[in-house]
Structure 1
Amino acid sequence: MTGPLRDETVLVIGRGGGIARAIVIAARDAGARVVAAGRDQQALADVYAAEPGITTEAVDLTDEAAIAALGKRLGSVDHAVSTASARARGRLADLDPDADAVRLSFDTKVIGPLLLAKHLAPRISETGSFTLFSGVAAAKIAVGTLAVAITNGAADILARSLALELAPVRVNAISPGVIDTGAWDALGKQGKADYFADISARNPARRIGTADDIAHAVLFAMTSTFLTGATLHIDGGEPLT
């Protein structure tokens, strides 16, 4: 297979749908050998069973031993992408009962990728990259998203710090805005439609983002060899509103 990632190995950590799946397919179509990893390896194996060029692995980003074991099984890798997240929404007064959720959010999106970098850095080629995920909540502060905002802000700083320490391996972050994935299904069909309509009417792009929008940004981050320490804001200009 030809493409900008031809003969390279790309690790994508996340679920079997939405943004993670779009990245897996885009990387494979760009010529890479792709390893999709997550807590439920069997679920991932079922999702990608009919997709050539994609293998699956198990990893829990809240378990350093599991991360270290994954690194040993992989041997070497050219690019690593961590899309994993655990949401912790709510106002300040509501966060005490959900303290575990706040910690899980931070452990999954900040500490986990930090440990992933620790164990994969010696295995990533000097021309390779590491891509983390932040989010629009860090750029557009709103009541009710405090825990999400501080987690995403920490992910931005982590990407910049790792870019310096792991050089010449490139490290960048992707900051998605509102993306049409199953993450919003909890609002209900009408609630989701109303929310999307409101965001589309206000953001400069005048639409909701897609998983493919994010996958294209990740491919750019992986293949742009003079890009490091940056956060790519793929958010339709939402922070401007």
Structure 2
Amino acid sequence: MNNFESQTVLIVGGSSGIGAAAAKAFAALGADVTIASRNQAKLDAVAADIGAAVRTAVLDTTDEASVEAFFAKAGRFDHVVISAAQTPGGPVRELALSDAYAAMNSKFWGAYRVARAANITEGGSLTLVSGFLSVRPSKSSVLQGAINAALEALARGLALELSPVRVNTVSPGLIATPLWLKLGEQARQSMYEGAAARLPARRVGQPEDVANAIVYLASTPYATGSTVLVDGGGAIV
């Protein structure tokens, strides 16, 4: 079993979904975990749920000054995970350019700002979270696919630039996270059931599935420049 005793882990976007699951997984393995996001109340709820000594920090990755100030005071981390993003979507000809810029600013430039500012231990790791639309494009989510592909390319380049820090990407498919709560319960269940019927895995992903991949990449000294798909086979159907 992986052991992260005495190792420090920062989860940016740790207040819900995949980030919260990753924080819980690292804490269970003995890590000293800090979760960061823009919402203190959500951070407190996740910290209480984990039940370990989890630190919290308010951080807005779209604000360059906020990111720089946070890492100037935070010190060094052994592992950093970036899963924070707010990405409005829709067809290119219908999505307002302001929304498109905001999506890119949040998911791509947010990760870029953190990667630029974070102080990571040599031999430690930086893990980004993209999405399978990078390799399985959708005509209604073109921008999201482009952003995910850009993140994966960024990680490969950073694996060279930041070496011996290891840089990887986890690429999830459809995951049952709070993101989908905006849909009504019936519509959400219908979407999940339809996806499970199509996917080779015959199920919808859970945040813990992605957290397992994040822990794997952080704990494997020979993994860098990699993209790990956790999509139930979504990229091949």
TM range (shorter): over 0.9
CA distance in structure 2 between the aligned counterparts of 1:215 and 1:94, rounded to whole angstroms: 34
SS at the partner of 1:208?
A: coil
Asked if 1 retains the 8 angstrom alpha-carbon contact of 2:59 and 2:67, the reply is yes
CA distance in structure 2 between the aligned counterparts of 1:204 and 1:21, rounded to whole angstroms: 26
SS at the partner of 2:104?
A: helix
| Deviation, structure 1 residue 22 | 0.6
The reply on whether 1:101 has 2:105 as its aligned counterpart is: no
Residue 139 of structure 1 aligns with an amino acid whose one-letter code is V
Q: Which residue of 2 aligns with 1:117?
A: 115
Residue 133 of structure 2 aligns with an amino acid whose one-letter code is A
Q: Which residue of 1 aligns with 2:165?
A: 169
Q: Which residue of 1 aligns with 2:83?
A: 83
| Deviation, structure 1 residue 195 | 1.1
| Deviation, structure 1 residue 69 | 1.2
Moved over 6 A (4+): none
Residue 72 of structure 1 aligns with an amino acid whose one-letter code is A
CA distance in structure 1 between the aligned counterparts of 2:195 and 2:7, rounded to whole angstroms: 38
The reply on whether 1:222 has 2:218 as its aligned counterpart is: yes
5 Å matches for 1:1-241? 4-49=3-48, 51-95=51-95, 98-120=96-118, 123-241=119-237
Asked if 2 retains the 8 angstrom alpha-carbon contact of 1:37 and 1:44, the reply is yes
Asked if 1 retains the 8 angstrom alpha-carbon contact of 2:177 and 2:207, the reply is yes
Structure 2: which 5+ residue stretches go unaligned?
A: none
CA distance in structure 2 between the aligned counterparts of 1:15 and 1:54, rounded to whole angstroms: 11
Q: Deviations over 1:65-100 (max 9, x none)?
A: 1111111221111000010111222112202xx222
Residue 124 of structure 1 aligns with an amino acid whose one-letter code is I
| Deviation, structure 1 residue 3 | 5.0
CA distance in structure 1 between the aligned counterparts of 2:186 and 2:76, rounded to whole angstroms: 46
CA distance in structure 1 between the aligned counterparts of 2:227 and 2:128, rounded to whole angstroms: 9
How many residue pairs match? The answer is 236
CA distance in structure 1 between the aligned counterparts of 2:146 and 2:60, rounded to whole angstroms: 22
1:83–1:161: structure 2 CA closer, same or farther, 3 Å change rule? Answer: same
Residue 196 of structure 2 aligns with an amino acid whose one-letter code is S
CA distance in structure 2 between the aligned counterparts of 1:100 and 1:206, rounded to whole angstroms: 37
Asked if 2 retains the 8 angstrom alpha-carbon contact of 1:14 and 1:83, the reply is yes
CA distance in structure 1 between the aligned counterparts of 2:79 and 2:69, rounded to whole angstroms: 17
CA distance in structure 2 between the aligned counterparts of 1:134 and 1:220, rounded to whole angstroms: 16
| Deviation, structure 1 residue 42 | 4.0
Q: Deviations over 1:205-228 (max 9, x none)?
A: 111001110110000010011000
SS at the partner of 1:172?
A: strand
SS at the partner of 2:113?
A: helix
Give the RMSD, CA atoms, in angstroms.
Answer: 1.4
| Structure 2 length-normalised TM | 0.95
SS at the partner of 2:93?
A: helix
CA distance in structure 1 between the aligned counterparts of 2:88 and 2:143, rounded to whole angstroms: 6
| Structure 1 length-normalised TM | 0.94
